[in-house]
Structure 1
Amino acid sequence: MKNWKNHILVLILVIISEMIGIVKYKVGPGTIVLLPMLYALIFGVLLTPKFLKIVNDKDMKDAGTLTTVSLMLLMARYGTMIGPTLPKIIQSSPALILQEFGNIGTVFFGVPLAVMLGLKRETIGAAHSIAREPNVALISDVYGLEGAEGRGVMGVYICGTVFGTIFFGILASFCAAYLPLHPYSLAMASGVGSASMMTAAVGSLSAMYPDMKDTLAAFGAASNMLSGLDGLYMSLWISLPLTEWLYKRFYRIKYGVEAPKVNPSEEA
């Protein structure tokens, strides 16, 4: 909280990003919407020691401790939007609850791909979910972050933090433009348990459907909240065991032997 350098840099980046504003590109019948959040993310990456070296490792660590606080404020703002649209949300409650089963799709897609790319036990942490904070905590509790599973979940967590917001914002625009899905369903689909990814997706949808922006934000926030509540249990009881089972099957297909319980490189 006392790192004034970070606060000043954030203020400057916010001002620059808001001055650029929302940029839209027509692509066929659809529109790609670039939001100020995207610019701020890119500018922030450029300030790191790998590029312009304006911030150092300590600055980055200090900034990381404020991420959760910032997201709490964001979710509080979304909470105020849920109330006025509560009747619509209640009508859609079965879809909001059942959508969590859709997140299991990452297991069926991620496990075979990870194994074929050569990952070993890292596959378990990387492919069991989208690897946000609750999933990192789950892997830490079950396997520990020092092992291969911990490296897998942290790798996806970092990639999601850096690229997830960009991907979700653009993906929402493409889905709205090219898929015959209602904007409400896309808003619900954006709530995968990551406030920043959900905000980027809902922001893109709101720019394309400004007359629905409050309802879209409410659906996205409600969906994200439910994903945060039941997503951890889905991962613990369904996704993680399913990931272990699929990993063993695809490991045998690729290597022709049973999968070891630990990463071979870590065996004594």
Structure 2
Amino acid sequence: MDIVDKAIRNWKLHVLALVLTVIAELIGAKSFKLGPGLLVLVPLLYSFALGALCGIPKLKILKRSDMFEASSLVGVTFFFLMARYGTLVGPSFWKVVESGPALILQEFGNIGTVFFGVPIAVLLGLKREAVGAAFSNAREPNIAIIGEKYGLDTPEGRGVMGVYVTGTVFGAIFCSLLSSFVASTMPFFSPQALAMATGTGSAGMMTAALAPLVEMYPDIKDELTALAAASNMFSGLDGVYMCVFMSLPLANWLVRKMGVKDAPSVPTKAGAQEGGNK
């Protein structure tokens, strides 16, 4: 009964979600020429934008309490989404098995994130914050890693939380635009490889990045969806170990090499507390 009562109490959110979905689907997918590439805008992108507009205080469409309630429903909706993806992995099982080594090895891409993100973060003025901000894509498992090793009320914690919030607000939109642009300008990447690359450990970002690929390659959309879902699952499994044993130590090393003196060589929360007690 609590679930039913909560659904009735939040009727405005459900109606608004339905209206925005209908509007986004009526607009449909649109393609635009952007320099040498093709920019594909999909209904998911419109719904993100429309939802953000509804949160503007001056429009008085949603109250702050409504937004908190909506955020608590996101996880529930992703259960349905991942269940749908799971039904597509089964029929493409052998395709996923054949791509297994590539799906696992792609986690080494975290190293590229470190080499790209840490220098930019330091040049922008960040210090130890660069470690938390650039060692991963800063989703929930990565926050847990930083929280355990440093604590979230630390420069590293502020770094990972800053990127987490930014990714939550802009990540899906960015992934959708980047996916369509790369697919149209870099033909040496197969659509299967691009689908695998969408699985970063975030269901929302994966879905947003996958949507343009499915629109561009409708003949193999089930295969692409299966590979993306499997990739996302692998990222959640081995991505944590990759971050703990490779990308986080590498981010610390690179930050020290760039002249940030206060980055600890052994980042453990317990060790920091002991040092403070002394």
Residues matched between the structures, number: 258
Q: String of CA shifts for 1:80-136, please: whole Å, max 9, x gaps.
A: 101111111111111000000012211111111111111122112111100111111
Q: Secondary structure at the match of 2:91?
A: helix
Q: Secondary structure at the match of 1:211?
A: helix
* 2:196 matched residue in structure 1: 188
Distance (Å, rounded) in 1 between the aligned partners of 2:81 and 2:232: 12
2:41 counterpart (34, 40, 46): 34
Q: Report the CA distance shift for 1:120/1:27 in structure 2 as closer, same or farther (over 3 A).
A: closer
Where in structure 1 do 4 or more consecutive aligned residues deviate above 6 Å?
Answer: none
Deviation at 1:8, TM superposition (A): 2.1
CA contact (8 A) 1:194 1:224 kept: yes
Distance (Å, rounded) in 1 between the aligned partners of 2:208 and 2:110: 18
Residue pairs, 1:40-189, within 5 angstroms: 40-50=47-57, 52-179=59-186, 180-189=188-197
2:24 counterpart (14, 17, 25): 17
Q: String of CA shifts for 1:212-232, please: whole Å, max 9, x gaps.
A: 101000111110110011111
CA contact (8 A) 1:49 1:57 kept: no
Residue pairs, 1:218-229, within 5 angstroms: 218-229=226-237
CA contact (8 A) 1:172 1:204 kept: yes
The letter of the residue matching 1:32 is L
Distance (Å, rounded) in 2 between the aligned partners of 1:113 and 1:27: 26
* 1:206 matched residue in structure 2: 214
Q: Report the CA distance shift for 1:238/1:58 in structure 2 as closer, same or farther (over 3 A).
A: same
Q: CA RMSD in A?
A: 1.9
Distance (Å, rounded) in 1 between the aligned partners of 2:103 and 2:75: 24
* 2:262 matched residue in structure 1: 259
Which runs of 5 or more structure 2 residues have no equivalent in the other structure? 1-5, 268-275
* 2:272 matched residue in structure 1: none
CA contact (8 A) 2:172 2:205 kept: yes
TM-score, length of structure 2 as denominator length: 0.87
Q: Report the CA distance shift for 1:145/1:182 in structure 2 as closer, same or farther (over 3 A).
A: same
Q: Report the CA distance shift for 1:151/1:92 in structure 2 as closer, same or farther (over 3 A).
A: same
TM-score, length of structure 1 as denominator length: 0.90
